[in-house]
């Protein structure tokens, strides 16, 4: 079998990359490509470093460079026991280049999207060098690559690049397939690629999943395995619902729906390359590797007994409502409202308008709420419309393909929630019918999740 396996920052913890060597002993007969993301917290701190450099804070930047060096060194010792001289040479080269680019930003006091991408790609450059070295020191044949070296070519949308799949596919086949034939385990740094002109780009936060599925598509792998520190996708957060259970399978559509509503941490675009070739993705736990995890597939082998598969609680959101009798039958109000929010680059998660047309509510991440309020207020200030803010709300999102075309799901859901004494502030259903989302007050969130989980999942699925 051929696998692409991605290891995230939380998947290794105390054992360091020795963990990968241990796990690979179960895949001795297989061909495996490893994709790693940066060590935990590194991408965040690199981003912070570009900001401090832009502000001219040389002291902070120098301190940071020192700490980053030490952190990686500690991780090498955790993984290998010592720092092999040949690895030190490679790490020092990366240190040197990172230092120079941050000094460039310090002198210019300007961090363009292009330079930010270059800086934040270093997290995966370090981690891929260290992972490959750990494999080599443990007797594996291995070789490290940056995304660009492996052959990933993207457009030039820095910070949110899209791979140019035709060239990428050909490149990756040429670089990685011969190595796999030779029994080498290639290690590719996730998150980044290069433009046709060899300028470094990144896929957006969490983009290492995307790297794994792009490579999976290129080499036509049997499965992409995403390793983390949980058993897979659960029917609910076990901290809220102790009866929650791991789902053996979900479909691509359900996974996309979850990514879109922000309920799960798979990179939203990461599924495109595997859907195209119907390659399954498996989410597994490095600390419980015998657990089969959750497989994401085109069609499930065994239908889940409940129409609702996952109930999620999405925190840190807020709701903005615009009301006014003057909106009734007045075309263009909604358009202007959304236009202004779009101009302010505010991403809207949910929308609803009452049939009376006298109000429109939108839900967004809480951090954008003030900006949204001010933007809309500036625009509609002279009109007789009221704006209303609710910062203390959460979204409850239920996902399941079985809801599609099944009458009465919403009725059952809202009855269960009402019976739990929870007041629903706003409701939206995507036209895909794969998800029903609604807004409740912060303090009612857990109650609503429990009520739905009980009604749909616990009553149906006996463990
Ligand atoms: N290191 C990148 C991030 O933190 C990519 C990833 O972890 O998948 O966003
Ligand atoms: Mg991630």
Q: What's the average model confidence in pLDDT over 275-290? A: 96
pLDDT tens track for 120-136: 999 999 999 999 999 99
Out of 68, 190, 265, give the residue to mutate to test ligand 1, the one with the largest number of ligand atoms within 8 Å of its CB.
190
CATH number at residue 322: 3.30.2130.10
Neighbours of ion ligand 2 (CB under 5 A): 8, 206
Residue 259 has pLDDT above 70, yes or no: yes
Q: Tokens for 190, please give them.
A: 């996730």
Q: What's the average model confidence in pLDDT over 247-271? A: 84
Lowest-pLDDT choice from 108-117, 232-241, 293-302, 349-358: 349-358
Nearest residue (by CA) to ligand 1, atom 8, is 206
For residue 285, being part of any structural domain is answered with no
Q: What is the pLDDT of residue 263?
A: 64
Q: What is the pLDDT of residue 265?
A: 64
Do 347 and 220 have their domain in common? no
pLDDT tens track for 177-218: 999 999 999 999 999 999 999 999 999 999 999 999 999 999
Give me ligand 2 centre to Cα 11, in Å.
10
For residue 319, being part of any structural domain is answered with yes
Last residue of a domain, one of 212, 229, 246: 229
Q: What's the average model confidence in pLDDT over 431-451? A: 92
For residue 60, being part of any structural domain is answered with yes
For residue 302, being part of any structural domain is answered with no
Residue 116 has pLDDT above 90, yes or no: yes
Q: What's the average model confidence in pLDDT over 403-430? A: 91
Segment holding 302, helix H or strand E: none
Q: Could you write out the DSSP letters of every residue in 222-255?
A: SEEEEEESS-S-BSS-TTT-TT--B-SEEEHHHH
Give me ligand 1 centre to Cα 168, in Å.
20
Out of 203, 206, 212, 228, give the residue to mutate to test ligand 1, the one with the largest number of ligand atoms within 8 Å of its CB.
206
Last residue of a domain, one of 229, 249, 266: 229
Give me ligand 1 centre to Cα 140, in Å.
26
Q: What is the pLDDT of residue 191?
A: 98
Give me ligand 1 centre to Cα 162, in Å.
16
Ligand lying closest to the C-alpha of residue 36: 1
Nearest residue (by CA) to ligand 1, atom 5, is 206
- Measured CA to CA, the distance from residue 47 to residue 68 in angstroms comes to 13
Give me ligand 1 centre to Cα 112, in Å.
19
pLDDT band at 90 (very low <50, low <70, confident <90, very high): very high
- Measured CA to CA, the distance from residue 134 to residue 96 in angstroms comes to 22
Q: Is 86 left (phi over 0), alpha (psi -120 to 50) or beta?
A: alpha
Do 316 and 413 have their domain in common? yes
For residue 273, being part of any structural domain is answered with no
Q: How many domains in the chain? A: 2
Last residue of a domain, one of 229, 258, 283: 229
Ligand lying closest to the C-alpha of residue 211: 1
Give me ligand 2 centre to Cα 209, in Å.
7
pLDDT band at 275 (very low <50, low <70, confident <90, very high): very high
For residue 369, being part of any structural domain is answered with yes
pLDDT band at 79 (very low <50, low <70, confident <90, very high): very high
pLDDT band at 347 (very low <50, low <70, confident <90, very high): confident
Out of 191, 203, 264, 268, give the residue to mutate to test ligand 1, the one with the largest number of ligand atoms within 8 Å of its CB.
191
Do 350 and 455 have their domain in common? yes
Q: What is the pLDDT of residue 214?
A: 98
For residue 275, being part of any structural domain is answered with no
Do 60 and 177 have their domain in common? yes
For residue 155, being part of any structural domain is answered with yes
CATH number at residue 199: 3.40.1160.10
Do 354 and 216 have their domain in common? no
Give the structural domain span for 427.
Answer: 310-462
Do 86 and 182 have their domain in common? yes
pLDDT tens track for 308-331: 999 999 999 999 999 887 676 677
Task: Work out the percent of the chain whose per-residue pLDDT is above 70.
Answer: 97
Out of 4, 5, 8, 9, give the residue to mutate to test ligand 1, the one with the largest number of ligand atoms within 8 Å of its CB.
9
Q: What is the pLDDT of residue 57?
A: 98
Do 326 and 218 have their domain in common? no
Bridge partners, 437 (sequence order): 397, 428
Q: Say if CB 360 and CB 353 are below 8 A apart.
A: yes
3-state SS track over 338-381: HHHHHHCCCCCCEEEECCCCCEEEEEEEHHHHHHHHHHHHHHHC
pLDDT band at 462 (very low <50, low <70, confident <90, very high): low
Give me ligand 2 centre to Cα 207, in Å.
7
Ligand lying closest to the C-alpha of residue 207: 1
Do 322 and 219 have their domain in common? no
Q: Could you write out the DSSP letters of every residue in 184-205?
A: EEEEEE-SEEE-TT--EEE--T
94-103, 386-395, 420-429: which has the highest mean pLDDT?
A: 94-103
Per the prediction, the chain carries an average pLDDT of 93
Out of 38, 117, 147, 266, give the residue to mutate to test ligand 1, the one with the largest number of ligand atoms within 8 Å of its CB.
38
Q: What is the pLDDT of residue 355?
A: 73
List residues near ligand 1 (CB under 6 A).
8, 37-38, 43, 123, 190-191, 205-208
- Measured CA to CA, the distance from residue 418 to residue 407 in angstroms comes to 19
Do 185 and 67 have their domain in common? yes
Give me ligand 2 centre to Cα 208, in Å.
7
Do 176 and 79 have their domain in common? yes
Ligand lying closest to the C-alpha of residue 38: 1
* Strand spans (E) along 47-196: 141-145, 184-189, 192-194
Residue 268 has pLDDT above 80, yes or no: no
pLDDT band at 158 (very low <50, low <70, confident <90, very high): very high
Nearest atom of ligand 1 to the alpha carbon of 9: 7
Q: What is the pLDDT of residue 383?
A: 74
Q: What's the average model confidence in pLDDT over 244-261? A: 90
Ligand lying closest to the C-alpha of residue 259: 2
Do 323 and 219 have their domain in common? no
Do 323 and 180 have their domain in common? no
Q: What is the pLDDT of residue 404?
A: 87
């Amino acid at each position: 079998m051929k696998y692409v396996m991605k290891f995230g920052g939380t998947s290794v913890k105390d054992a360091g990359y020795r963990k990968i060597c241990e796990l690979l002993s179960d895949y001795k007969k297989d061909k495996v490509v490893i994709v790693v993301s940066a060590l935990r917290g590194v991408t965040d701190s690199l981003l912070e470093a570009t900001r401090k450099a832009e502000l001219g804070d040389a002291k902070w930047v120098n301190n940071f460079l020192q700490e980053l060096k030490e952190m990686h060194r500690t991780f090498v010792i955790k993984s290998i026991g010592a720092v092999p001289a040949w690895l030190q040479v490679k790490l020092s080269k990366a240190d040197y280049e990172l230092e120079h680019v941050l000094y460039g930003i310090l002198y210019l006091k300007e961090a363009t999207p292009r330079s930010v991408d270059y800086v934040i790609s270093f997290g995966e450059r370090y981690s891929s060098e260290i992972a490959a070295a750990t494999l080599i020191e443990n007797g594996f044949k291995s070789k490290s690559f940056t995304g660009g070296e492996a052959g990933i070519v993207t457009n030039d949308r820095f910070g949110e690049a899209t791979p140019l799949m035709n060239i990428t596919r050909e490149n990756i086949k040429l670089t990685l397939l011969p190595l796999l034939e030779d029994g080498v385990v290639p290690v590719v740094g996730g998150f980044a690629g290069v433009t046709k002109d060899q300028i470094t780009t990144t896929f957006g936060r969490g983009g290492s999943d995307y790297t794994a599925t792009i490579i999976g598509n290129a080499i036509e792998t049997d499965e992409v395995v995403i390793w983390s520190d949980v058993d897979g996708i659960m029917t609910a957060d076990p901290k809220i619902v102790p009866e929650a259970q791991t789902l053996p399978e979900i479909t691509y559509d359900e996974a996309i729906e979850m990514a879109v509503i922000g309920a799960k941490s798979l990179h939203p675009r990461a599924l495109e390359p595997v859907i195209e070739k119907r390659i399954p993705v498996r989410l597994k736990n490095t600390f419980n590797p015998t657990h089969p995890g959750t497989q994401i597939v085109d069609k499930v082998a065994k239908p889940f007994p409940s129409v609702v598969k996952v109930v999620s609680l999405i925190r840190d959101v807020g709701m903005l409502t615009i009301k006014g009798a003057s909106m009734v039958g007045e075309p263009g109000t909604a358009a202007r409202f959304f236009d202004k929010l779009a101009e302010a680059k505010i991403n809207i998660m949910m929308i609803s308008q009452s049939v009376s047309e006298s109000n429109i509510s939108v839900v967004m991440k809480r951090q954008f709420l003030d900006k949204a309020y001010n933007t809309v207020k500036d625009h509609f200030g002279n009109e007789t419309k009221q704006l209303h803010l609710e910062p203390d709300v959460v979204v409850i999102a239920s996902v399941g393909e079985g809801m599609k075309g099944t009458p009465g799901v919403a009725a059952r859901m809202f009855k269960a929630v009402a019976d739990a004494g929870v007041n629903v502030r706003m409701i939206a259903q995507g036209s895909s019918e794969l998800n029903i989302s609604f807004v409740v007050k912060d303090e009612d969130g857990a109650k609503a999740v429990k009520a739905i989980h009980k009604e749909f999942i616990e009553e149906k699925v006996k463990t």
